[in-house]
């Protein structure tokens, strides 16, 4: 008897965030929605702001790790909130 090993591949979906001018957004969204392998949905302004804030926080963290920005004490940060 022959025994075969089956290769199992797990594919994941790539996520892409696009920054599109407001006047071009309907055209681009229409184009993306016509592609059968793409799911496109707009972000709310709240979610967009959250993503921008997280990106800025990650950039600042990288600057702190690189020694280009001073670190802040966590207690000071909590007191500021």
* Predicted TM-score of the model (pTM): 0.57
Give CA–CA dist 6/48, Å, rounded: 42
For 30-50, what is each residue's pLDDT tens digit?
A: 999 999 999 998 989 899 899
Do 21 and 49 belong together in one domain?
no
Farthest-apart Cα atoms in the chain, separation:
71
The domain of 20 spans 14-42
Give CA–CA dist 53/47, Å, rounded: 10
Q: Is residue 22 part of a domain?
A: yes
Do 56 and 75 belong together in one domain?
yes
Local confidence band at 65 (pLDDT 50, 70, 90 cut-offs): very high
Give CA–CA dist 64/53, Å, rounded: 16
**Does residue 77 have a pLDDT over 80?**
no
The angle formed by the CA atoms of residues 45, 49 and 55, to the nearest 5 degrees, is 145
Do 72 and 48 belong together in one domain?
yes
Give CA–CA dist 31/76, Å, rounded: 48
Q: Is residue 32 part of a domain?
A: yes
pLDDT at 6: 64
Q: Is residue 80 part of a domain?
A: yes
């Amino acid at each position: 008897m022959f025994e075969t090993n089956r290769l199992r591949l797990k594919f994941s979906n790539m996520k892409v965030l696009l920054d599109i001018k407001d006047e071009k957004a309907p055209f681009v969204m229409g184009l993306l929605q016509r592609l059968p392998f793409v799911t496109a949905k707009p972000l709310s302004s709240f979610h967009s702001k959250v993503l921008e804030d997280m990106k800025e926080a990650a950039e600042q963290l990288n600057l702190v790790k690189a020694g280009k920005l001073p670190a802040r004490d966590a207690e000071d940060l909590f007191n500021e909130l």
